Structure 1
Amino acid sequence: MTFALLLTSILAFSACTASVTPAPAGEEDAADAGTTGAYPPGTMTVYGYGQPQYWQQFFENYLNDHPDVAPGVSVEMVQTENEADARQKVQLSFTAGAYDELPDATASAPVSMKALADGGVLLDVTDYVEQFKDRFVPGALDQLYYKDRIYCLPKDLRPQLLFYNQEIFDQYGIDPAGMETIEGYIETGRQLKEASDGEVYLSYIDPGAFTWRYWGRRGLMPQANARIWDENGEVVIDTDPGAKLAMDTLATLNEEELLYKSAIFQPPLYDAAREGKVATFYIGAFWDEFLRKNLPDMEGKWRVMPAPIFQDLGLGGAPVVGLECLINKPDPVYADLYKTIWEAYQFDADARQTWTEQMVAEDAPYSNPISVEMLQDDFWKEPTPYYGGQSFREAEANGLNNVSQNLIVTDKDAEADTIISAEIESYVAGNQTMDEALANMGEQLRERIGTAPVD
């Protein structure tokens, strides 16, 4: 089905079901999504990671624009260290029965979502979310299901993209189109190293947990059709051909010294990029916000393209879904208010554009909508000065074509990630070979986890 035909079908479906499907918040009759005065005065608390203060701005915009919906209610986004930290804080409060310490919602990801759902921590939102599924881009809900139920609201669906410094490629006369394949990406790194006498690195490698997270789980592993577990939940990461392909690729990049060793998101890495030592940033669309925020003086130099593919497999990067999960508190008084604001974020074009323009002005993070209707607006195809006039929003949308499937996620993957990452970190530190790291992953996973139920 073509995109235009899909849109026509969606609009027709929406018209036929208007009597039974709630109108998106933000439309004329949607300001009443929360009954006036229905929410007690107080603070709706949300755990976030990354830069949640910018997500808070959308909530504040909504409450300011709809003062009758929740008078006396404010929003607080609590900064946590990362996905695991947010999950652990929620789990500790919930299991201790300290319900007054729990947030009303938390940012999450599929690995943590499953662990929290198994503990009864999250509200089941299956019926609520499924009423919107035909209005979302394909794949928006694929990572949300767990045991046939949905426990989180989708916030965004972001592709895997490669960011590169066009000025470096012009300087050395190297065509960035060669990076369309992973094999070509490696060869480009070799060319840059030779042409620059070793001064320019293809990309970076983090000595900590982020290497597994971005190069592994989100990057090379899905594109290589790799597996941690087989269909019966048995550990196969140390014997799986795809896992070996993915990890050998990372080893090639690292051992040929094509990767600049630096902690991700830290000043030394940005300084190296500014000095022309790092040519590309692999692999997530999230790099947009960090480049704009930390390298504003490099506006016009960067470009973006889809993540490189393995030539023989031909699969693009696996998209990453952002999740917002409502907490199963004894009295979740702000759950419906959160849903109302979430609907405005997903379907109110004016509210979304206003907030996005705020984010651009502040060099802050934002992502494309997952609403099919909203993406048709030319606003989401506008040129982006930071990328020399290339439309980053359009590139982000195109990045969702030809995607690979994410790794199977079990309720044991939160623990598995710590085991796998520790072996990768030991490899990066030079304490073992990649073959030894893979063997140790398998041994440790079998010893400490055993079988992981695959749903």
Structure 2
Amino acid sequence: MRNRTARRLLGTLAAVSALALTATACGSDASDAGAGKSGPEDVAAALEKGGKVTVWAWEPTLKKVVEDFEKKYPKVDVELVNAGTGDKQYTALQNAIAAGSGAPDVAQVEYYALGQFTIGKSVENLAPYGATRHGTSFTPGPWTAVHQGDDIYALPMDSGPMAFFYNKKVFDKHGVKVPTTWDEYVEAARTLHKADPKVFITNDTGDAGATTSLIWQAGGRPYKTQGTDVTIDFGDKGSKTYTATWQKLLDEKLVAPISSWSDGWYKGLADGSIATLSIGAWMPANLTSGVASAAGDWRVAPLPQWTKGDKASAENGGSSLAVPKAAKNKELAYAFTEFATTGAGASARVAAGAFPATRADLESKAFLDTEFPYFGGQKANQVFAESARNVGDDWKYLPYQVYANSVFNDTVGKAYVSPTKLSDGLKAWQDVSVKYGKDQGFAVND
């Protein structure tokens, strides 16, 4: 799930980026992590011997996984630690790596942030441990995010294929059809706001994750990375497609100037003044718990398309489990990581409310036939599963995406509070990201 607060990694991230590039310059080979040292047979032996594994993660469904793992392997003791959410944990993890002590054996890392750990050679290549056999087990978006060539730096824990959540009660009241294209979405926004000036199609005050996800769906690929070689181009066709449409919404003041996850946001979702969300498939639990009064009003549909008739989608959020190279017991760490992300462990997390990255769970009849009382009994997982199958599998994040996201509101965010155009804001974001990358020693082209 996306963090609910802006991600800010300042001095720590700069220091870690320098550390990452120093490791690269020293000639460390990304493919040597664990190579020739451990294999599946060593993992089996480690489970037989037993020991302790420390896991840093904030995801609540892992509690059940820990219980099941310890029951299956009674000689293994798993300590589950919430070291903070998102950037807070990343800061603690990077500090432990830099200090050479205190790092966990397993760490939850969101897909967008994984690059900063792989570029620094600070997480294990899991391929030698047996991770390669799971290549067809996961949906395209998450699997693309965790592997580079033959190297696998984490295993997908969950995913966030995007869907269109809409308030059916509000749509029906104003005679608005569910949009199937983004052009229809703009027309729906105009109709709703004209019928009731208090109603907005959605909220938006500038969000890096939402913006890049919609560019992803539009076919944009602004980031290209190969080791320390980086290209950033927000002038590509997909980015222009996104900005041309979203600029209309901003110019006509058709989106509510309310920040996501704020009290005003929850209120708007509850009273219908925020009529839709284009967001990850992890959202139902948040609506159920945070907008309980609107139960029965909301439904789920596929994302509107940039080209009529297409079925393109994108990811919005999601996390992996990685094994730091500083882990004390890498074999047991891998065993837990594999258990938690595949087979019974993954199914247990899905049953507890996580959205799967595993094809088997996404395709299971029980999952697809689950009825959501909140959505009027709709089998919403069928929409989410279809979205997962249609995610473009060639998206890349920057190896310093955490930093880039932290300066999004200082650049693109100006388009929401001033005459600055979105396209100009994206160019400013690009320029800042390029400068930062060069300052940290990356070879950056724009």
TM-score of the alignment, normalized to the shorter chain, above 0.5: yes
Which residue in the other structure is 1:18 paired with?
Answer: none
Which residue in the other structure is 1:39 paired with?
Answer: 51
In structure 2, C-alpha distance between the alignment counterparts of 1:191 and 1:443, rounded to whole Å: 37
In structure 2, C-alpha distance between the alignment counterparts of 1:343 and 1:106, rounded to whole Å: 14
Contact 2:144 2:394 in 1 (8 A): no
Contact 2:350 2:356 in 1 (8 A): no
Q: Which amino acid aligns with 1:88?
A: T
Which residue in the other structure is 1:331 paired with?
Answer: 328
- Post-superposition shift, 1:271? 0.9
- Post-superposition shift, 1:293? 1.4
In structure 2, C-alpha distance between the alignment counterparts of 1:35 and 1:234, rounded to whole Å: 43
Contact 1:411 1:453 in 2 (8 A): no
List structure 1 segments (4+ residues) > 4 angstroms apart after TM superposition. 137-140, 229-232, 351-357, 450-454
Which residue in the other structure is 1:236 paired with?
Answer: 233
In structure 1, C-alpha distance between the alignment counterparts of 2:338 and 2:394, rounded to whole Å: 25
Which residue in the other structure is 2:180 paired with?
Answer: 180
In structure 2, C-alpha distance between the alignment counterparts of 1:252 and 1:291, rounded to whole Å: 28
- Post-superposition shift, 1:419? 4.0
In structure 1, C-alpha distance between the alignment counterparts of 2:106 and 2:230, rounded to whole Å: 30
Q: Which amino acid aligns with 1:206?
A: T
In structure 2, C-alpha distance between the alignment counterparts of 1:22 and 1:373, rounded to whole Å: 24
Q: Deviations over 1:376-414 (max 9, x none)?
A: 333442222111111122221111233334543242434
Which residue in the other structure is 1:428 paired with?
Answer: 416
Q: Does 1:159 align with 2:161?
A: yes
* Coordinate RMSD, CA, aligned: 3.1
- Post-superposition shift, 1:262? 1.7
**Superposition pairs for residues 18-417 of structure 1, below 5 Å?**
35-36=47-48, 38-40=50-52, 44-48=54-58, 52-63=59-70, 65-66=71-72, 68-70=74-76, 73-82=77-86, 84-97=87-100, 99-100=101-102, 102-127=103-128, 128-138=130-140, 140-146=142-148, 148-176=150-178, 179-196=179-196, 198-206=197-205, 211-214=207-210, 216-218=211-213, 220-229=214-223, 233-237=230-234, 239-311=235-307, 314=310, 316-319=312-315, 321-329=318-326, 331-332=328-329, 335-336=331-332, 339-340=335-336, 342-343=338-339, 345-348=341-344, 356-357=350-351, 359=352, 365-368=353-356, 370-372=358-360, 375-405=363-393, 407-417=395-405
In structure 2, C-alpha distance between the alignment counterparts of 1:275 and 1:136, rounded to whole Å: 38
Q: Which amino acid aligns with 2:67?
A: E
In structure 1, C-alpha distance between the alignment counterparts of 2:114 and 2:184, rounded to whole Å: 36
Contact 1:292 1:386 in 2 (8 A): yes
Provide the TM-score with structure 1 as the length reference: 0.78
Judged with a 3 Å threshold, the aligned counterparts in structure 2 of structure 1 residues 414 and 250 are, in CA distance, closer, same or farther, namely same
Q: Report the secondary structure of 1:173's partner residue.
A: coil
Q: Which stretch has the larger CA shift, 394-403 or 339-348?
A: 339-348
Contact 2:256 2:274 in 1 (8 A): yes
Structure 2: gaps of 5 or more residues: 1-38
In structure 1, C-alpha distance between the alignment counterparts of 2:224 and 2:347, rounded to whole Å: 43
Judged with a 3 Å threshold, the aligned counterparts in structure 2 of structure 1 residues 248 and 153 are, in CA distance, closer, same or farther, namely same
In structure 1, C-alpha distance between the alignment counterparts of 2:435 and 2:398, rounded to whole Å: 17
Q: Report the secondary structure of 2:57's partner residue.
A: strand
Q: Which amino acid aligns with 1:122?
A: V
Judged with a 3 Å threshold, the aligned counterparts in structure 2 of structure 1 residues 108 and 381 are, in CA distance, closer, same or farther, namely same
Q: Which amino acid aligns with 2:66?
A: F
In structure 1, C-alpha distance between the alignment counterparts of 2:427 and 2:367, rounded to whole Å: 49
Q: Which has the higher contact order (CA 8 A, sep 6+)?
A: 2
In structure 1, C-alpha distance between the alignment counterparts of 2:188 and 2:341, rounded to whole Å: 40
Q: Report the secondary structure of 2:51's partner residue.
A: coil
Q: Report the secondary structure of 2:79's partner residue.
A: strand
Judged with a 3 Å threshold, the aligned counterparts in structure 2 of structure 1 residues 355 and 319 are, in CA distance, closer, same or farther, namely closer
- Post-superposition shift, 1:223? 2.1
Judged with a 3 Å threshold, the aligned counterparts in structure 2 of structure 1 residues 190 and 405 are, in CA distance, closer, same or farther, namely farther
Q: Which amino acid aligns with 1:222?
A: W
In structure 1, C-alpha distance between the alignment counterparts of 2:384 and 2:186, rounded to whole Å: 23
- Post-superposition shift, 1:88? 2.6
Q: Deviations over 1:323-354 (max 9, x none)?
A: 11111125236x52553464265212xx6555
Q: Deviations over 1:38-83 (max 9, x none)?
A: 114xx623133xxx233323323443x436242xx2432315242x
Judged with a 3 Å threshold, the aligned counterparts in structure 2 of structure 1 residues 123 and 59 are, in CA distance, closer, same or farther, namely same
Contact 1:37 1:68 in 2 (8 A): no
In structure 2, C-alpha distance between the alignment counterparts of 1:115 and 1:229, rounded to whole Å: 14
Q: Report the secondary structure of 1:68's partner residue.
A: coil
Q: Which amino acid aligns with 2:418?
A: G
Contact 1:46 1:76 in 2 (8 A): yes
In structure 1, C-alpha distance between the alignment counterparts of 2:236 and 2:357, rounded to whole Å: 36
- Post-superposition shift, 1:260? 1.4
In structure 1, C-alpha distance between the alignment counterparts of 2:404 and 2:231, rounded to whole Å: 13
- Post-superposition shift, 1:107? 1.6
Judged with a 3 Å threshold, the aligned counterparts in structure 2 of structure 1 residues 240 and 170 are, in CA distance, closer, same or farther, namely same
